[in-house]
Structure 1
Amino acid sequence: MIMTTEPINAIPSREPPASQVGAVGWMRQNLFSSPFNSVLTFLSGWLLVIAVPALFEWAFFQAKLTAANGLECHEASGACWAFIAEKHRLILFGTYPFDEQWRPLVSMVLLVAMIVASGWRRLWNIWLLPLWVVGLTVVAVLMWGGVFGLTYVENTLWGGLPLTLILATFGIALAFPFGVVLALGRRSKLPAIKSICVIYIELIRGVPLISLLFMSSVMLPLFLPEGLTIDKLLRALIAIILFAAAYVAETVRGGLQAIPKGQYEGADSLGLTYWQQTRLIILPQALKIVIPPLVSVFIAMFKDTSLVVIIGIFDLTLAAKAALTDPAWQGFGVEVYVFISAIYFVFCYSMSKYSQALERRLATGHSR
Structure 2
Amino acid sequence: MKVPFIDLQRAHAPLKEELIEAFSRTIDHGGYCLGPDVDAFEAGFAEEQHVAGCVGVGSGTEALHLIALAMGVGPGDEVVVPAFTFIASAWFAQYVGAKVVFADVDSNTFTVTRGSIEKVVTDKTKAIVVTHLFGQAADMEPIMAFAMERGIKVVEDAAQAHLAQYKGRYVGDIGDAAAFSFYPTKNLGGLGEGGAVTSRDSALLEQIRILRAHGSKERYLNHFVGYNNRMEGLQAAALNVKLPHLRGKTARRQRIARGYLGGISNKDIQLPMPTRYGESVYHMFTIRHPERDRLKAYLAEQGIGSDIVYPYPLHLQPCFSFLGYREGDFPVAEEVAKTCLSLPIVPELTDEEIDYVIKALNAFA
More strand by share: 2
TM-score over 0.5 for the alignment?
A: no
TM-score by length of structure 1 reads 0.26
Ranked by relative contact order (alpha carbons within 8 Å, sequence separation 6 or more), the top structure is: 2
More helix by share: 1
TM-score by length of structure 2 reads 0.26
Q: Which has the larger radius of gyration?
A: 1
